[in-house]
Amino acid sequence: MGLLPQKGVLWALLDRRLAKFGLTISEEKSRIIAFGRNACQQSRKQDKKCATFDFLGFTHFCDKARNGYFKVGHETSSKKFRQKMKEMTQWLKGIRNRVKREVWWRILGQKLVGHYQYYGMSGNMRGIRNFHYHTVRLAFKWINRRSQKKSYNWLQFNRFLSFNPLPKPKIYHFTYTLFNRRGCVPEEPDEGKPQVRFCEGALSNLEANTPSGGGL
């Protein structure tokens, strides 16, 4: 975003702003990077990779829409994915012999839906499909360790899944607009009403519509 030369000023302003709410910046976990269309173009000219950053469980990166315009891409961060799979493994291992299969299978479905509702953002279908795929494999593994005798082979397990399906991955958050304005184009027009919008020039529009005496 062209902020690196002014990073000292930006850091001071941000620190002052957060201090009003009793908050501080963790310097070990925070950094200022050049991010955006222009920064990415400069990086490519220098044969470097475009900068990315992790925030709230997502890796955010520079991407292109179907028509070639710039957009911010989002995918589940690898660190958070490993953490979620580890948590799922521990839960399946602990629950499988504590309650009946019908009970914990229903809870497993609820856990999947909860994951989709958080990580189901436009452009992250591969991430939530990956989570679904590995969860099914973990369920197969631990459902066969309830006793010394193997409960299912894959053919039997797939038949069980056909009668007791787990929720399929679904996008819940549509982050690309349905209108074409200043380079914003529909990225996934048939998947529902957008809730959050990213487009170049959004900051200038926000500044223009923000009262001079107020703050965000």
Asked if the model's pLDDT at residue 210 lies above 90, the reply is no
The domains of the chain are located at 78-163
Q: Summarize pLDDT for 147-180 with one digit per residue, the tens.
A: 666 778 899 999 999 999 999 999 998 876 543 4
Single-letter code of the amino acid located at 137: R
189 has pLDDT over 80: no
The pairs formed by 31-38 with CB atoms below 8 angstroms and a separation of 24 or more are: 32/3, 32/4, 32/7, 33/4, 34/1, 34/2, 34/3, 34/4, 35/1, 35/62, 36/1, 36/2, 36/62, 36/70, 37/62, 37/70, 37/200, 38/1, 38/2
Collapsing DSSP states into helix, strand and coil, what is residue 107? Answer: helix
CA–CA separation, 78 and 127 (whole Å) = 9
Q: What are the two backbone dihedrals, phi and then psi, of residue 172, each rounded to the nearest 5 degrees?
A: -110, -25
- Sequence-distant (≥ 6) Cβ neighbours of residue 145 within 8 angstroms: 96
pLDDT tens digit sequence for 109-149: 999 999 999 999 988 999 999 999 999 999 999 988 876 66
